[in-house]
Amino acid sequence: MKKQLAVVLAILTLFVSAGCSPADTQDANKAQTTQEQQVDKGKAEKATIGEVAGLGDTAQDWEAEFGHPYAQGDTLKVYKGGLYEVVFENDRAVTITLPAKDGKEPATDMLLPRDGKKQSENSQQTGGMTMIVEKWHSDMLEKAIPDTKGTYTVMKNKNGKEYDSIIVDCTPNLKK
């Protein structure tokens, strides 16, 4: 009995000298649970507005999705070999230009807010050029960039029947 008591006291002495206590174990478990909750919350907050990083998302979201931009200035960053030219304002993508490859319409849907609702569409033809302008609204975009009031514009530029580019813009405070 004395031997067992001595062993228990020795083990407790080791724990105490190592700075451990039963309360520390509980605190460590709570801290781990809190960290796991924060990671889960961070993942939920980092979810992109569209299917992939796009309009209203952060530069960090864009880099995670498409890699490091190969050319960049103060606000303009170019991703995927020129496939996406993005203007950031306050670390949020506010303008995306997609040059057309071989005259085909660039795929923009995945870059647009998932909850976007088209408000209007009109087109204007000048010579052989046609510009189709679509006005959209998104609650998710409004939450990400309140100054936009959730409004964004998709401008499709066509030369005859071939596309030149598509520009997606939600620049807050844009003067017309």
pLDDT digits (tens, 9 = 90+) for 85-101: 999 999 999 999 999 88
Task: Tell me what the pLDDT averaged over the chain comes to.
Answer: 80
User: Residue 127 has what pLDDT?
Assistant: 87
User: Which pair of tokens denotes residue 57?
Assistant: 């998302």
Strands lying side by side in the sheet with 129-137? 71-72, 76-79, 84-89, 92-99, 162-169, 151-159, 129-137, 117-126
Residue 135, pLDDT above cutoff 60? yes
Residue 7, pLDDT above cutoff 60? no
Q: Average pLDDT in the 64-85 region?
A: 86
| pLDDT band with cut points at 50, 70 and 90 for residue 161 | confident
Confidence (pTM)? 0.70
Q: Average pLDDT in the 7-14 region?
A: 54
